Amino acid sequence: MRRTLLICLAALTLGGCLSEEKATGQAAGYGRSYPESVVLEMPTNAPSITQQFRRIEDNEHYGIDIHAPIGTPVLAAAGGEVIKSFFGPAYGNQIEILHPADSSGKTSRTRYVHLQTRMVDVGTQVARGEQIATLGVTGFLSSGFPHLHFETLYRGTSIIHSASDANLYWADGKGKITCYDPKYDQLETETFLLTYPVRCQ
């Protein structure tokens, strides 16, 4: 029992510890020191979020972490062009998609990190909800914990200056995590809107 508790505490430190019954429908809270917490509505069939976005000096986390089994389909959160698809030692297999300009005239990007497999190459045009990869545990920053690290770069290209909380841009509204459904295929691009990047059960 003590050994199991120690393993779970270590896993919490590295990225979260979920039992099987919490594999879907749960969302980690925002840190108390995070000033821009978003009230979330999490579908019961959506793979759980184990870590939220935060922008705190010396403790940044420029994305959300979504826990699911290795091999779970990873979907394009919005349509666009694949501009990066490669393996790096820190983040493992990763993909970056450039999305069309919104009403401001500026483009945004999404990044998908720690992938098991990549299914698209640079230059590929992808549609919202199209499978682009499978979830994995690649790269030493994955901490050995199967999850998708999902980043949103809103109206910019710099992870430091443009990173934004994905929970602000769900298609059903701020904080309303939106599982992909074909009904979202025709969403206008004037407003930057996302659907969940991991297939809901």
Q: What is the pLDDT of residue 18?
A: 42
> What pLDDT does residue 125 have?
98
**Is 99 within a domain?**
yes
**DSSP-derived pairing of the beta strands 131-135 and 92-99:** unpaired
CATH of the domain at 107: 2.70.70.10
Q: Is residue 86 part of a domain?
A: yes
pLDDT given at position 19? 40
Element (H, E) at 11: helix 2-14
Percent of residues, the chain, with pLDDT higher than 70: 84
Q: Can you say whether residue 144 is alpha, beta or left, with left for phi > 0 and alpha for psi between -120 and 50 degrees? A: left
pLDDT tops 90 at residue 25: yes
Residue 182 Rama label (left phi>0; alpha psi -120 to 50; beta): alpha
Give a yes or no: residue 115 inside a domain: yes
pLDDT band at 20 (very low <50, low <70, confident <90, very high): very low
Cross-strand bridge partners of residue 169: none
Residue 189 lies in a domain: no
Tokens encoding 141? 């920053």
pLDDT band per the 50, 70, 90 thresholds, residue 12: very low
Mean per-residue pLDDT for 1-13? 40
Q: Which two tokens stand for residue 196?
A: 């969940």
Q: How many domains does the chain divide into?
A: 1
User: Is residue 21 over pLDDT 60?
Assistant: no
- Worst-scoring range by mean pLDDT, 10-14, 127-131, 168-172? 10-14
- Closest C-alpha among 174, 164, 184, 162 to residue 77: 184
- The residue with greater pLDDT, 37 or 122, is 122
Tell me the residue range of the domain where 106 lies.
21-184
The whole-angstrom separation of Cα 148 and Cα 156 is 22
Residue 191 lies in a domain: no
pLDDT tens digits, one per residue of 149-191: 999 999 877 776 788 999 999 999 999 999 999 999 988 888 9
